[in-house]
Structure 1
Amino acid sequence: MQASIETTGTLERRLTFTLPEERLETHIGGRLREVARTARIKGFRPGKIPPKVIEQRFGPQIRAEALDGLLRETFDSAVREHELRLAGNPRIDRAGDNELQFVATFEVVPEFGDIDVAKLEVIRHTAEVTDADIEQMIENLRLQRRTWQPAGRAAQDGDLVTLETWSQAGDERLPAEGVEKGSSVIGSGVMFPAIEQGLVGLSKDEEKTLTVDFPADWRVPQFAGKQVQVHVKAVEVAAPVLPEVDKEFIKSFGVKSGDAEQFRKDIRINLERELKGALMNRLRREVGEQLIAAYASVEMPPRLVENEARSMLAQQVEQMRRSGRDPGQVPDDAHQGFVDAARKRVLVGLLVGEVARRNELRLDPKRVSETLRLIASTYEEPEQVIEMYRNDPQLMGGLQSRVMEEQVIDWIAERAKHTEQAMTFQEAIRQ
């Protein structure tokens, strides 16, 4: 195999390589003969189609597939031969008119030197699910199933207030005419806090004007950074009616027997699963912050950082759309605001991979299966979810990457100087 490597930047490399023509032609010839035995073309008997016809009909596709396969194989072989460790995906282009010669441009993993995790100082948080947490969850489930009835009194925390509002700052009035209609549960945090708390004490058909100071980044540009007079009218005040925790209520959450003890057991399992994930996220952040502090001076692959920043921007834009907010026209350089966070994420990701490589850490299939069962248990048909993952390489690959990262994080935390810090369930899940 002909291959040459050039250093085009601190972490950028350019690899020029040529595909072995003899292997390519041998592979193409073999595939054409295979196709000839099974192909069906009108006017010819199976297995009796002339080679020239097979070549005309299937040759271009087979050649393209063979080139693609041999390209990946040859590139991977050249990378191994030159002992290169890639950071991100390569960009591969043809080198001129020669269909067998290619140029790959890519970034490599930076040199981290000695990675001594024993010097890191990590706080490992611990927590457990208590009976009080289970009772609180049952109360939350009752709130989810609440109904409403006229309160017949002034509004208080937890009430649903149906509203008519209009706001004014100087000559600016919203809406320009009439009122905006809506509703809010006091204490839910849906409305601006000063407005929501201003509803307390209002009775049906009562009106009042609130003086509200909006922050400079308020989502309504006309009122951002201004003091606004908000006129509110309580059209209706409704009080919540919570359901009893009886058999019918319990059955509605999938406990077919309606048994209260089984209901609490199921809730405990779900809360413990949530807690496990929350504690791992805290440990991941803790280890990540320590790694960032220890290796902040190491240069990161620029293109990999930029790609990560663009990915983070895309995720934020998508989240805005899903929540009903219009992200507007996104500037070409909007990703620059994510570069610092992206650099940290890339640094931690590369370090985790390097720790795994140097210490020969391997993916634990048992842990993958346990995690998959845990994920599947949150669905009504767990076996279908497990089958879906096993039949989807992309889904399974993402799961395996997640489990491998958790294994490395655990490995680092066990060997670092660590102290345990107890916290409540509620504190632990508050990210």
Structure 2
Amino acid sequence: MQVSIETTSGLERRLTVGVPADQIESEVNKRLQQAAKTVRINGFRKGKVPMKVVKQRFGAGVRQEVVGEVMSRSFYDAVTKEDVKPAGQPSIEPKQMEEGKDLEFVATFEVYPEIELSDFSDLEVTRLTAEVTDADIDKMIEVLQKQQATWEDIKRKAKKGDRVNINYVGTKDGEPFEGGSAENQFLVLGSDSMIPGFEKGLIGCKAGEEHVLDLTFPDDYQAEDLRGAAVQFTVTVNGASAQKLPELDDAFFEKYGVTEGGLEKFREEVKENMARELKNAAQAKVKTQVMDALVEKHSVDLPKALVKSEVGTLRNQMVQRFGGAANNPQMDFASLLPDDMFTEQAERRVKLGLVVGEIIKANDIKADADRVRSMIEELASTYQEPDEVINHYYSNRDLLASVESAVLEDQVVDFLLAKAKVEEKASSYDEVIKPAEKDA
């Protein structure tokens, strides 16, 4: 096998491979001889079909199959010989496939970039610390109560937190505008679901009343023709209701898996879950800071094939998240989502994957078995039969590999934190749990 390789541009490589003709013909003849023993052709007994007839009937198809397999195998033998690591699948173009002549093909592909790791001694990280207080537990229990709340009709004036059922018509310069009307719409006053001033204008309303609201759309409203526009809403209040929270009794506790121990046990369970959430959120914020620093500190040429693959993954995740394929299998939702929606995030993920991989390789970091076990046990603890879940993870290579990958990332973060300047900042439960604000 003859091999030559050249750099075409950046990470792209062009590999030319030549395979001797006798290697191809030998494999083709071998398969035709095997086929001759079993093939059935009218006018001939099984196993007695002349090789000339077998070759006429099946030669072209067998040769095409052999050439495809040889090109694929030869490509991977060639990149091993040349000590290059392809990033993504190659584009293979045959140059010479004529029978009796040496096979020649060209494979174009990208390679993984060389990554020079930065110095991490100047890395600065803020670690938020907090405790779950009784007030935090009270607040969480109220949230759980609101999830199970019912609504009761009221005759009094509606106030913040009450729910109204309304019809409304919006007009701009005296004419109705698209999307500005609705009937029998429920609205919780104070939920900030509508444009500024809409809900405030309904505070104090009662069922059966009509209110006219003169409002202005925000300058950054999504509909361009309504940005900053002065409009008028005529609102009819069909009804109003107040939220009634359920009692903190055994029936309520049982809905959250607490069957004995009453309020005291329920509070313990809530605190335990909140503490776990607090720990995970604090770790996630630290990890995000470290990962952001890795992105900022490294300049990496990204293989287009890897970015394209990651774009596809993100697109499919979005389709699945919103149930597109399940709700309408006839509609190809993925094709409606352009690459540009995911390119920036895909590039970040590919870059992080390459840099983290290089840190793991350079420092010979291996997934800690105890940490893998601990993570699986924590994941399993939220299920009714945790032992079955644990066994399932250890019996499924893909699931286990996903946990090992997550543990490796955490170990990389710990490795970098050991070199970084870490400042601890006392905080509250709500501040730690609150998602990090994204730049505009």
Give the structure-1-normalised TM-score.
0.76
User: Runs of 5+ in structure 2 lacking a partner?
Assistant: 38-45, 55-60, 436-440
CA 1:12–1:125: 2 relative to 1, 3 Å: farther
CA distance 1:115–1:246, shift in 2 (3 Å):
same
- 1:402 aligned onto 2:406: yes
The aligned residue for residue 89 of structure 1 is: 88
Q: Distance in 2 between matches of 1:65 and 1:132?
A: 71
**Mapping 1:315-330, distance limit 5 Å:** none
Pairs within 5 Å for 1:151-230? 151-174=154-177, 179-215=182-218, 218-219=221-222, 223-230=226-233
Distance between the aligned counterparts of 2:108 and 2:412, measured in 1?
30
- Work out whether residues 95 and 106 of structure 2, in 8 Å CA contact, stay in contact via their aligned partners in 1: no
- CA, structure 1 residues 114+179, in 2 after alignment: closer, same or farther (shift >3 Å)? closer
Question: Size of the alignment, in residue pairs?
Answer: 408
CA 1:19–1:134: 2 relative to 1, 3 Å: farther
**Structure whose CA Rg is larger:** 2
Indicate how the Cα distance of structure 1 residues 258 and 151 shifts in structure 2: closer, same or farther if over 3 A, else same. Answer: farther
Rounded to whole Å, the distance in 1 between the matches of 2:26 and 2:281 is 55
- Report matched runs for 1:310-349 at 5 Å: 311-312=313-314, 334-336=338-340, 338-349=342-353
Task: Give the corresponding residue for 2:57.
Answer: none
| C-alpha contact 2:117 2:359 (8 A) present in aligned 1 | no
Partner of 1:6: 6
Match of 1:266 among 247, 266, 269: 269
Residue 364 to residue 236, structure 1, CA distance change in 2 (3 Å): same
Within 1, Cα distance between the matches of 2:19 and 2:94?
Answer: 12
* Letter matched to residue 357 of structure 2: G
Q: Distance in 1 between matches of 2:67 and 2:385?
A: 43
Aligned AA (1:293):
E
Report sequence identity in percent: 35
2: distance between equivalents of 1:64 and 1:134? 69
Indicate whether 1:411 and 2:415 are aligned: yes
Within 2, Cα distance between the matches of 1:242 and 1:176? Answer: 34
Please, which of 125, 128, 131 is the counterpart of residue 131 of structure 2?
128
Does the C-alpha gap of structure 1 residues 420 and 186 become closer, same or farther in structure 2, counting only changes over 3 Å?
same
Structure 1: tracts of 5 or more residues without a match: 37-48, 56-60
Correspondent of 2:251 among 248, 251, 260 = 248
Work out which of the residue numbers 272, 278, 282 in structure 2 matches 1:279.
Answer: 282
- 1:24–1:70: 8 Å Cα contact kept in structure 2? no
RMSD: 4.4
What is the distance in 1 between the residues matched to 2:69 and 2:374? 35
> CA distance change for structure 1 residues 156 and 264 in 2, over 3 Å: closer, same or farther?
same
Question: What is the aligned partner in structure 2 of residue 379 from structure 1?
Answer: 383
Residue 300 of structure 1 corresponds to which residue in structure 2? 302
Asked whether 1:108 is paired with 2:107, we answer: no
Residue 193 (structure 1) shift: 4.2
Cα distance change, pair 242–72 in 1 and its aligned pair in 2 (3 A): farther
